[in-house]
């Protein structure tokens, strides 16, 4: 996937000024940035959610320009989104949504491997509950990532998959993401505020979203350490764009 000079407005406000990056097969990139810098907007614009108006720039996916395609079309092409705050879907059971993600009918059974994954995510007790209704933050994230793994996307856009997640669950979630990326050749963009997840995923680049632009493509652990030490202020001063790396 390649994002070229993306400029995005939300409610007539310019959120992303000029964002470019590429994701190759089996690569994981980590995206940092202060609250409100537009990380969720970037993911939403790539997923095609309405409201995020792409003023200029292009999104190329598997050699095809998808900038004008609908949410559903993008999902079918293989773009998977893990929401920062997944909504409650009243009346729809998790079990039914998981089957839909797998492309199964409501009468079809899960395979042994699928059951293993559900149990690994400790979600067997949630199957007959309505999607995200009354789920804790961490439970929502586990359900969210499990749905994505079942969707088998070519690109995973993960918006803070680690927020509100306990240490043990983080290990499970991140471990399975890494396993999926390795085995499928898919790629992922992971938004995070914390460094812990970097212990479980092999991310190639870390970058920072600031003032509507991406900065600093380099070792994610270093980026994280720098932000911890210097704050996002330091990133502005540093201004290493490093786009030549692609």
Partner 1 sequence: MVSLDESKILKKVPRHVLMEAYGVGVAREEERAGTFFHVDQSTLYSSVNELFKGKIELMDIREALQRYEWLSDYMWNAIQKSSDFFTKKVAEDLSGGYFLRILPGAEVLFPLQSCLMITQEGMEQRIHNIIIAEENSKAHLITSCLQHSAVRKATHIGVTEVYVKRGAYLNSTMVHQWGDETVVRPRSASIIEEDGTFVSNYICLRPVMDVQMYPVAYCRGKGSKVIFNSILYGHRGSFIDAGSKAVLDGSESRAEMISRAVTREGSKIIVRGSIEGNGRECRGHLECKGLILDDESFIQSIPELIARSKSVEITHEAAIGRISEKEILYLMTRKLSKEQATSLIVRGFMDASIMGLPEALTAEISRIIEIATKS
Ligand X SMILES: Nc1ncnc2c1ncn2[C@@H]1O[C@H](COP(=O)(O)OP(=O)(O)O)[C@@H](O)[C@H]1O
Residue range at the interface with partner 1 (CB under 8 A); choices 10-18, 27-35, 67-75, 229-237: 67-75
User: In this structure, are residues 218 and 242 in contact, taking their beta carbons and an 8 Å threshold?
Assistant: yes
- Using CB under 6 A as the binding rule, the residues of this chain from 34 to 63 that contact ligand X are 35-41
The residue within the footprint of partner 1, chosen from 72, 109, 113, 244 (CB under 8 A), is 72
Q: How many residues bind Mg ion (CB under 5 A)?
A: 3
Q: How many residues bind ligand X (CB under 6 A)?
A: 11
Closest residue by Cα to residue 127 from 146, 152, 153, 148? 146
CB closer to Mg ion, 39 vs 141: 39
**151 is a contact residue toward partner 1 (CB under 8 A):** yes
For the bound state, the minimum distance from the C-beta of residue 85 to partner 1, rounded and expressed in Å, comes to: 10
User: In this structure, are residues 132 and 120 in contact, taking their beta carbons and an 8 Å threshold?
Assistant: no
Gap between the Cα atoms of 6 and 66, Å rounded = 13
The residue within the footprint of Mg ion, chosen from 37, 40, 44, 187 (CB under 5 A), is 40
Q: Pick from Mg ion, partner 1, ligand X, none: which does 151 bind, CB < 5 to 8 A by kind? A: partner 1
Provide the mask over 41-80, with x wherever binding to Mg ion is found by CB under 5 A and - wherever it is not.
Answer: ----------------------------------------
How remote is the C-alpha of 229 from its chain's centroid?
26
Q: Which residues bind Mg ion (CB under 5 A)?
A: 39-40, 84
Q: Which residues bind partner 1 (CB under 8 A)?
A: 47, 49-50, 70-72, 75-76, 80-81, 83, 86-93, 96-97, 100-101, 103, 106, 130, 147, 151
Q: Which residues bind ligand X (CB under 6 A)?
A: 10-11, 15, 33, 35-41
């Amino acid at each position: 996937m390649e994002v070229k000079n993306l400029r995005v407005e939300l409610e007539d406000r310019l959120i992303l000024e000029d964002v470019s990056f590429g994701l190759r097969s089996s690569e994981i990139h980590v995206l940092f940035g202060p609250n409100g810098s537009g990380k969720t907007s970037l993911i939403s614009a790539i997923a095609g959610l309405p409201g995020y108006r792409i003023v200029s720039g292009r999104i190329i996916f598997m050699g095809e320009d998808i900038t004008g395609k609908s949410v559903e079309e993008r999902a079918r092409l293989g773009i998977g989104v893990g929401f920062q705050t997944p909504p409650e879907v009243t009346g729809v059971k998790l079990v039914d949504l998981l089957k839909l993600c797998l492309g199964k009918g409501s009468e079809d059974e899960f395979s042994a491997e699928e059951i293993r994954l559900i149990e690994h995510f400790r979600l067997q007790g949630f199957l007959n509950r309505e999607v995200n209704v009354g789920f804790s933050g961490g439970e929502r994230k586990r359900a969210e990532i499990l749905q994505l793994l079942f969707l088998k996307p070519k690109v995973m856009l993960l918006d803070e998959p680690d927020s509100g997640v306990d240490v043990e669950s983080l290990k499970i979630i991140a471990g399975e993401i890494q396993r999926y990326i390795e085995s499928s050749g898919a790629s992922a963009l992971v938004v995070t505020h914390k460094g812990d997840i970097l212990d479980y995923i092999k991310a190639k680049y870390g970058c920072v979203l600031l003032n509507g632009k991406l900065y600093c493509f380099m070792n994610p652990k270093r980026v994280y350490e720098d932000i911890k030490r210097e704050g996002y202020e330091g990133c502005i001063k540093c201004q290493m764009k490093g786009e030549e790396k692609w």
